Amino acid sequence: MTPITPAILSAIHILTKPLGEASAHDAQSSHQEALLAVLRANRALLHERLQSESSFEEVRRLREEVMVAADWFGGDTEDSAWGFVQECLLLLLTLARHLSAELKLFQQTPTPPAARQRTPEMAPPLPPDVLGVAQQQTLGAALQFVVSLGLCPYLAAGVGVSLGRRSAFGAMVDQLVHGGAVPAAGRRLLTTTNILLQLAELSCLATLVFTRHLGDVLAALCQLGYQPRRAERSGTEEGKMQELSAEECQMCKEALKGLQGKVYQPMIIKELLILQGPKQSAGGSSRGSSSRAVLRPAPTWLKRLCGQLLSERLMQPHGVQAVVRAILEGGTGGDSDWRKCDCVARILVTCPQQSASADTYYRHVCHQILGLLHFKDQLTAQQHQRVATRAVLFMVQEQPSCAQQYLLTPLLGPLHRCTTASDEAHLQAAVDEWELTRCVNDVYKVWVVGNSPSASLLEALEQVLPVLFTLFCFTKQNVSHLRAPCQEVLLWYLSHAETSAALSALRRLSGLQGQKNQVAADFHFAPGSDGGARLSSRERFSEEDDALYEKLSGEQWRLECLTQLLSELKDCDLPGDFFLDLLQEMAGWSAAADGAEEDEPELDVSTMTLVEVEQRLLAPSARQDQRLSLLQLLAVMVDCLQHTVLLRKTSQVVDFLMSLLQRACVGLDQAPGPNPGNPVESETLRMGMGVVATLLSGPELSIEDYSSMSRLLPPLELLSQKHSEPVIQELASDLRALIATRGAYRPEDFTAVAPPSRNPKTTVKNISVPSRKTKANDSQTSAQSSRPHSNSPSNTHRAAAGVSPKGGGRTSGTSNLYLPTKPLSDWLLEACDPDVPTRAFALRVLTQMVQNENPEAVQAQEQVLMLFLENLEHEDSFIYLSAIQGLSALADSYPERILERLLKDFQHGPSLPASNQEHSLEFRLKVGEVLMRASRAMGDLAAHLGRPLIGVFLQGTRDPDQSVRASSLSNLGELCQRLDYTLGTLAQELSSCLTALIKTEKEAEVRRAAVHVITLLLRGLGDKTTQVLSDVLLDLYRALKWVVRSDPDDVAVLHAQLALEEMDDVMRRFIFPEQKLEKKIVVLP
């Protein structure tokens, strides 16, 4: 920086520095007079020092050169304020010209050789226009004086923000300048504005001008270029505007246009919005007497001009973003910012009056609105996305046609292209990953986050729903960040669409209704490089079997994904409505099939074309495919969806039962008389009628419940009259009478059929279970129906209904079997029956009799034990698992005697004379399973009953067979974690055994079991570990560390790490016990 620049800045500082207190006090009679005195004194002091001091000689020369070229400089003037402004402008122009010359010289001067050798760490030389902080403050003060005294006072009323609204000093300046006649106001405003624009051509000065005084410069240019000219009125400001020529006005217009394109757009838009001024209230502007309390509205011409300029800014590239930044920049994300976002969105979707046409406006603006959805910065992204989302929603409501053309169609474009892809781009992706990712995220933001359902949005989303669902199914097979947004969008549509539209969409997604808007043939989604997906051409299969397998597995996977979507709709009736809709369609198959057989005419081929013949011949096959698809969908829904999702309300349960009864009534009219029918269907019908009975036994049924169940009266009447089984007829008649009388009539044995439940929630659960467990109940009831001599009709009905005579609803395992009425000898005979279901059922009944301490079973416990041991050797898993369950029940009821026999068989194999010694190993392993279940059931008795078992299990760890060794260790772990302090005397022996097995055992399976014993031991003892295993804890720790470091088996290492974690938790709790704040009350004697 040359010495001239500090000298010029020093001169500016002399001109703008405050006057001393003594001088100000002497001159002060009022604020205005004091200010004028300071201005005159500073100006006189500057002239004196410029003439007297040699350091200002070059400044004086440069100032005189500028003064000669300045035709606006008036020399001595009676207006002290304007004279002060002239001096400031002269010095500022002097500084600008000097800095421009120095900067030009700096750019033309070649780099010296010493500077070329500078290292990267060295700073580059500073250009001469770089100013310090103090120097910038001096320039800022001078510019503030220029704007306050030479620009703002000459603005028309309502143009810009008046000085009186800014500060008390500004109000004083405003009164000072307007206190007397102001000559040539327009010319002075033009002069000040032109000089400020000249200063802004230098970058260092432009920052100071535009960051602080951009609004004032814009207001001056608008007034100079666009204020309407009126007839001259002597003595008024409007008349003095006639002094400006048309060329000068045009120059101001061009300057305003150039300034808009050069400055940061959000700043321009913000200042234009301020220039528009506030809306004029209905009561006028007469409120308050102070000028500072009145906010004057902008003139009409200025409002119109600012609106036009804002529209031009908005329709420029990135204009929408500039408008959003101008209004929202600096926000904190609070509630006020969200209201601002809505206001901005409303502004964007409102076509301005200055626009040539609405279509042109929306064509320029809409794609910019969509661009707001793609910001990365978190705070900025939230605000911009809010604006974009609200703008889309407002436009869909107010301009649906333009929204469809310019917003929804481009936004959903990548998904639409998935349905129209062709093989032209075989080597490239038909739809790239970034396009799909952006599209899915935009749909999520607009539809789900916006959450403003309308017919247009639902219709637009419905068109791409199949593609979104296919993409969702693909993401379920892979790790993809698109899974969550796809699922949320699909759930949003299903939750907000009309029930009929949602059901139709579910049918299309499941493949039951049409193939419209599906992903294009021979194309599929493939994984993308960034965790997304892309649409690419599918490779053709060389064999038909592979293609068929791919198709069938794909259909099955789509159904599973659909049921998962339905399972997420927990507070919605749609899954139940869809399930009942499918059942209703299935109920009409039988009647439709019978009518088709009767009405099917003979096919007259002679009068038909080949296409018609082909269609007629393929129609039955198509109907069969449709039915198979529906059955497959029903099977997946029943298997995957919980009953609380399928049937949430009583009305849905009634609809389900109505469908069940209607299917049972089909064909009764055509087949009078006794008809054996299908036993599975009969048992299913009994189960459904049992559900009706349970529903009717609720605590307090409402009138609406009885009204909904009144629909069951016609099918119940038909069943009571024409069904072939008397039991069903009687039950249907009773249920019909109970529903018709609304509970006034109740049969005597109705409580035995369906006992009343005290918990209505339990009742609903019990009602809903049969809808999901039809297959299991069918298999069980078919086994019972194959033995008509086994049960009485009433008992058979109770078993089918799934309710025991003791009440309490449905239970699991063997507890859902009814108490038998046959003698024990019959069940013992059936337990030897060669028929597997009969034998398994008998074994389950015997197990239940043992658990219920049946007197006959207690007396014949030896026979029951022999029977269970014999069936333990059966090869069918259904048989030997039932035997294992029975032996576990015996060991639980009579532990001393039964455990002794089981331990002997576990050590030496089967002891029965008819046993097959070749299968001794399998038998011992099954007995080991029985002993493990018995160990779990011991509870607190393990300390008393577990001693003999520990000895046998320890001996089993040395068995020649590895499976027996592993089984012994498994049983040992289950037992040891229940022994607590009783284990202390066996700790050394147990530790030696486990440590030896861990280090010497060759079989990985046995080593895993040994490590797992330590894990169970630590988990069972918990905080008592340090007391019970204090002597061997270090040995166990070292053995576990040895496994982690040296064992080649990964599973054994994993078990060891889990055991070490258990040990770590125990020791942490021991060393750092939990601090408890407790109050103890001690009663003194």
- pLDDT for 942 equals 67
Window from 51-60, 271-280, 587-596, 939-948 with minimum mean pLDDT: 587-596
| Joined tokens for residue 618 | 């393929």
**Token pair 């992706």 in the structure block, residue:** 429
**Token pair 């200063």 in the structure block, residue:** 199
User: With 70 as the cut, is the pLDDT of residue 399 above it?
Assistant: yes
User: With 80 as the cut, is the pLDDT of residue 339 above it?
Assistant: yes
Other beta carbons within 10 angstroms of residue 1001's beta carbon come to 20
User: With 80 as the cut, is the pLDDT of residue 223 above it?
Assistant: yes
The single-letter DSSP state of residue 1030 is T
pLDDT in tens, 8-41: 888 888 888 876 544 444 444 577 788 888 888 8
User: With 80 as the cut, is the pLDDT of residue 135 above it?
Assistant: yes
Give the residues across from 525 on adjacent strands: 535
pLDDT band (50, 70, 90) for residue 180: very low
User: With 90 as the cut, is the pLDDT of residue 514 above it?
Assistant: no
pLDDT in tens, 1024-1057: 888 888 888 888 888 888 988 888 888 888 988 8
> How far, in whole angstroms, is CA 583 from its chain's centroid?
33
Amino acid identity at 297: P
pLDDT in tens, 795-807: 333 333 333 333 3
Cα distances (angstroms) measured from residue 906 to each of 398, 901, 955, 975: 82, 9, 11, 16
User: With 70 as the cut, is the pLDDT of residue 748 above it?
Assistant: no
- Who's near 391: CB < 8 A, 6+ residues apart? 344, 345, 348, 349, 369, 372
More confident residue, 915 or 544: 544
The beta-strand segments (E) located in 907-1032 are none
User: What average pLDDT does this structure show over 992-1014?
Assistant: 87
- pLDDT for 283 equals 46
- Who's near 601: CB < 8 A, 6+ residues apart? none
- Burial of residue 75 (CB within 10 Å: 0-12, 13-18, 19+) is exposed
- pLDDT for 239 equals 47
Amino acid identity at 551: K
User: With 80 as the cut, is the pLDDT of residue 1002 above it?
Assistant: yes
In three-state form (DSSP H/G/I as H, E/B as E, the rest C), the secondary structure along 327-385 is HHCCCCCCHHHHHHHHHHHHHHHCCCCCCCCHHHHHHHHHHHHHHHHHCCCHHHHHHHH
The single-letter DSSP state of residue 200 is T
- pLDDT for 1029 equals 83
Angstrom distance (rounded) from CA 529 to CA 822: 69
User: With 80 as the cut, is the pLDDT of residue 354 above it?
Assistant: no
- pLDDT for 789 equals 36
For 53-56, the CB contacts below 8 A with 24+ separation are: 55/7, 56/7, 56/10, 56/11
User: With 70 as the cut, is the pLDDT of residue 631 above it?
Assistant: yes
Task: Report yes or no: 11 and 59 within 8 Å, Cβ to Cβ.
Answer: yes
- pLDDT for 482 equals 92
Percent of the chain residues topping a pLDDT of 70: 79
Amino acid identity at 6: P
Q: Residue 714: which of 669, 662, 660, 675 has the closest Cα?
A: 662
Angstrom distance (rounded) from CA 642 to CA 648: 10
User: What average pLDDT does this structure show over 865-888?
Assistant: 82
pLDDT band (50, 70, 90) for residue 492: very high
- pLDDT for 447 equals 93
| Joined tokens for residue 168 | 């008390």
**Token pair 């125990």 in the structure block, residue:** 1066
- Who's near 462: CB < 8 A, 6+ residues apart? 493, 497, 501, 505
- pLDDT for 481 equals 92
pLDDT band (50, 70, 90) for residue 615: low
Task: Report yes or no: 974 and 949 within 8 Å, Cβ to Cβ.
Answer: no
pLDDT band (50, 70, 90) for residue 463: very high
- pLDDT for 915 equals 58
Backbone angles phi, psi at 182, to 5 degrees: -110, 105
pLDDT band (50, 70, 90) for residue 472: very high
Window from 45-49, 63-67, 159-163, 787-791 with minimum mean pLDDT: 787-791
Angstrom distance (rounded) from CA 130 to CA 142: 18
Window from 52-61, 497-506, 589-598, 900-909 with minimum mean pLDDT: 589-598
pLDDT band (50, 70, 90) for residue 442: very high
User: With 80 as the cut, is the pLDDT of residue 602 above it?
Assistant: no
- pLDDT for 1030 equals 82
Window from 376-390, 557-571, 585-599, 784-798 with minimum mean pLDDT: 784-798
User: With 80 as the cut, is the pLDDT of residue 422 above it?
Assistant: no
User: With 80 as the cut, is the pLDDT of residue 825 above it?
Assistant: no
Angstrom distance (rounded) from CA 931 to CA 902: 7
User: What average pLDDT does this structure show over 821-830?
Assistant: 76
Q: DSSP labels for 590-655?
A: HHHHHHHHHH-----GGGS-HHHHHHHHHHHHHHHHHHHHHHHHHHHHHHHS-HHHH--SHHHHHH
Backbone angles phi, psi at 263, to 5 degrees: -90, 155
Angstrom distance (rounded) from CA 387 to CA 381: 10
User: What average pLDDT does this structure show over 365-375?
Assistant: 89
Task: Report yes or no: 882 and 871 within 8 Å, Cβ to Cβ.
Answer: yes
pLDDT in tens, 647-685: 777 777 888 788 778 777 776 655 444 444 556 577 777
Give the residues across from 536 on adjacent strands: 524
User: What average pLDDT does this structure show over 691-714?
Assistant: 77
- pLDDT for 439 equals 94
Q: DSSP labels for 680-722?
A: HHHHHHHHHHHHHHHHHTSS---HHHHHHHGGGHHHHHHHHHH
Angstrom distance (rounded) from CA 651 to CA 659: 12
- pLDDT for 488 equals 94
Angstrom distance (rounded) from CA 437 to CA 429: 14
Backbone angles phi, psi at 524, to 5 degrees: -155, 165
User: What average pLDDT does this structure show over 391-414?
Assistant: 91
User: What average pLDDT does this structure show over 623-631?
Assistant: 80
Go through 681-694 and write b for each residue having 16 or more CB atoms within 10 A of its CB, e for each that does not. ebbbbbbbbbbbbb
- pLDDT for 590 equals 57
Q: Residue 858: which of 894, 832, 883 has the closest Cα?
A: 894
pTM score > 0.75 for this model?
no
Go through 896-914 and write b for each residue having 16 or more CB atoms within 10 A of its CB, e for each that does not. eebbebbbebbeeebeeee
Task: Report yes or no: 425 and 432 within 8 Å, Cβ to Cβ.
Answer: no
Backbone angles phi, psi at 397, to 5 degrees: -75, -40
- pLDDT for 943 equals 64
pLDDT band (50, 70, 90) for residue 410: very high
Mean of per-residue pLDDT scores for the chain: 77
Task: Report yes or no: 489 and 461 within 8 Å, Cβ to Cβ.
Answer: yes
User: With 60 as the cut, is the pLDDT of residue 990 above it?
Assistant: yes
User: With 60 as the cut, is the pLDDT of residue 405 above it?
Assistant: yes
